[in-house]
Structure 1
């Protein structure tokens, strides 16, 4: 029973999340021969102020690099 946890910053649309789930599922089916009904995928959305990148919080990094 594969369990995949995907962490992304907030902002993905429902259709984008559905595509992520579809593509990860397809990869596990084709690569490992797993059954789709045994695959569990969790998408966790993290606020940009709760995610660090390049020594800064992501929201601060984005402000500096716009």
Structure 2
């Protein structure tokens, strides 16, 4: 049972997320031979003020 965790900053539409999990599932199926119904994808969306790079919150970026 492949289990994929994806962490990303909020802001994508439901359709974008839907397509992303389809594409990720297809890649796992292609490269592992696992059936699609056994591929689990977990999306963790973070608020921009809960993530920083180089000490700067993403919400503070211009």
When normalised by structure 1's length, the TM-score is 0.87
CA shift, 1:39, in A, is 0.5
CA shift, 1:55, in A, is 2.2
RMSD: 0.9
Question: What's 1:3 paired with?
Answer: 3
Write the deviation string for residues 20-54 of structure 1: whole angstroms up to 9, x where unpaired. 10010000011111100001001111001000112
Counterpart CA distance in 2 for 1:20 and 1:39 is 13
Question: What's 1:17 paired with?
Answer: 17
Give the paired residue count. Answer: 62
Unaligned runs of 5+ in 1: none
